[in-house]
Amino acid sequence: MPSTSADAPPPDVTGLDVRPFRALTYRDHDAAHLARVTSPAYDLVNAVGRDRLAAADPYNIVRLILPHVDPVGGQDSSRSARDRRSASAAAETLRSWSTSGVLVRDDVPAMWRYEMAGPGAEATTGWLGAVSLPAAGSSAVLPHEDTFAPAVAGRAALLAATDTDLEPIVLAHDPDPEVAELTRDSAGGPPTLEVADPDGVVHRLWRVTDPGTLARLTRALTRTRAVIADGHHRFAAARDHQAGDDAHGSVLALLTPMGAGGLRVRAIHRVVPDLPLESAVRAATAGFRTTELTPQDGDVDGTVRRWTLQDGPQTFLLSDGERVVELSAPSAAMLAAVPQEAPAAWRRLDVVLAHAALLGQLWQRPDDPASVLVAHDVTEALRLAEDRAGVALLLRSPSPADVAAVARAGARMPRKSTLFVPKPRTGLVLRPHQD
């Protein structure tokens, strides 16, 4: 299919090029139904969670983003072959749901005002739109994390088969007063979609079709640039897809402001399986001061959580779920393990020191998903450490400004370094590529 003008950014645009799109949504907008058919982003759903979501409703979106395919004897069992079979199954399911009316397509293009309000936190508000993939060398959209090639390939296979953005990436853009004004003024009336997720975050979306509002919004966003907050693998998959078919030069994204009204950042912790705490600490003494901490009232989880909220110099915690050991005062040799030619913003990150000095040098663990597991919260990290006879490496969160500085310096944090919250709910709005 030839390229369309909607996919090609104007030649004078150096910032974000964002367009309205004809969304695909569930016909039934009832909040209880949306709670049953939506899910977290695909990379936050483990095997048990996937089965639980699929059992909740025959039309749960997890059947598209994480399609289950039974092994077939005698067929190619390589990862790429499994990816293709899964993607084919998802495409068939998507066609079935669209044909039967489970999912319906909007008649007119729109952008969607998206508000996420959680307990005890300022609401995060942004816009869902189709963001043009910038040309090579552009700074309009900057990644900040490394990706894992097989994961990119899996998402690319799914995109190629379904020809649909099944869930948005998340971008944190430069603040702009006109964007903020339009966001404030577009919340009138009841939301088009509303659902509460299991974490107590209420997701409210308003479909905005007014041509004047959309023209002002898209024009204002061209003055901004963005950092990828979530969805590095999906962004890379979209680029791969574009390389094979120039007609699809854009990706569904939730655009949120950097700073007030935007996202918050949490650390993603590491777990090294089959590494006893005693062995981990013994190796760490070659480069760090080690201090055994006594959990208050035996509450390891609470002790670690309180530590993660404190500010301080480059310091880590190790735990096997029962004991807690603090690593501090990295030696000159440990600091030197971080490449000195790298940008200063990157060298200052705790997660970089953890990977270069502790994981890479002292523990000699390669950074791959089998050797170093990731955990999105303290409880998960401690449970994984116990289950896998290993050690949890617990980190403090970088700030959004730290993440932006790394991206704008052209550097990359290790894979899965940041968890931007709150997360959009997958399944509320899909974006087919065909007009």
Q: What is the DSSP string of 41-103?
A: -GGG--HHHHHHHHHH-TT-THHHHS------TTS--SHHHHHHHHHHHHHHHHHHHHHHTSE
Phi-psi region for residue 115, left (φ > 0), alpha (ψ -120 to 50) or beta? Answer: beta
| pLDDT (mean) for 406-427 | 87
- Asked if 337 and 357 touch (Cβ cutoff 8 Å), the reply is yes
| pLDDT of 11 higher than 80 | no
Phi-psi label, residue 363: left if phi above 0, alpha if psi -120 to 50, beta otherwise: alpha
CA 93 to chain centre: 24
User: What's the token pair of residue 327?
Assistant: 């690593």
Three-state DSSP state, 250: strand
Do residues 256 and 171 lie in contact, with contact meaning Cβ atoms separated by under 8 Å? yes
Q: Are 25 and 97 in contact (CB under 8 A)?
A: no
Q: Are 96 and 21 in contact (CB under 8 A)?
A: no
- Write the CB contacts of 144 (distance below 8 Å, at least 6 apart in sequence): 227, 228, 403, 404, 406, 407, 411, 412, 413, 417, 418
Distances (CA, A) of 154 to 81, 157, 236, 399, 416: 10, 5, 11, 30, 17
Amino acid 381: pLDDT? 95
Structure tokens at 198: 């299991």
List, for residues 156-198, the tens digit of each pLDDT value: 999 999 999 999 999 999 999 999 999 999 988 999 999 999 9
Mean pLDDT of 222-232: 93
- Give the Cβ contact number of residue 122 at 10 Å: 11
Burial of 202 (0-12, 13-18, 19+ CB in 10 A): middle
Token pair listed for 375: 């955990």
Q: What is the pLDDT of residues 325-335, one digit of tens each?
A: 999 999 999 99
**Tokens 């777990």 found at:** 271
CB contact set of 61 (below 8 Å; sequence gap of 6+): 37, 38, 39, 166, 167, 426, 427
How does strand 124-132 pair with strand 18-19? antiparallel
Burial level of 427, CB count in 10 A (0-12/13-18/19+)? buried
Provide the pLDDT for residue 356: 93
The percentage of the chain sitting over the pLDDT mark of 90, rounded to a whole number, equals 68
List pLDDT tens digits, range 59-117: 999 999 999 876 655 555 788 888 999 999 999 999 999 999 999 999 999 999 999 99
Q: What is the pLDDT of residues 199-220, one digit of tens each?
A: 999 999 999 999 999 999 999 9
pLDDT of residue 72: 56
Is the pLDDT at 137 greater than 70, yes or no?
yes
Instruction: Give 9's pLDDT tier (boundaries 50, 70, 90).
Output: very low
Q: State the pLDDT at residue 71.
A: 63
Question: What predicted TM-score, i.e. pTM, was given to this entire model?
Answer: 0.80
pLDDT above 70 covers a percentage of the chain that reads 94
- How far apart (Å, rounded) are the C-alpha atoms in residues 40 and 195? 13
What's the pLDDT at 99?
Answer: 97
Instruction: Classify strands 193-196 and 269-272 as parallel, antiparallel or unpaired.
Output: unpaired
Label the pairing between strands 264-267 and 418-421: antiparallel
246 vs 223: which has the higher pLDDT: 223
- Computed over every residue of the chain, the mean pLDDT equals 90
CA–CA dist 145, 257 (Å, integer): 19
For 55-58, the CB contacts below 8 A with 24+ separation are 57/33
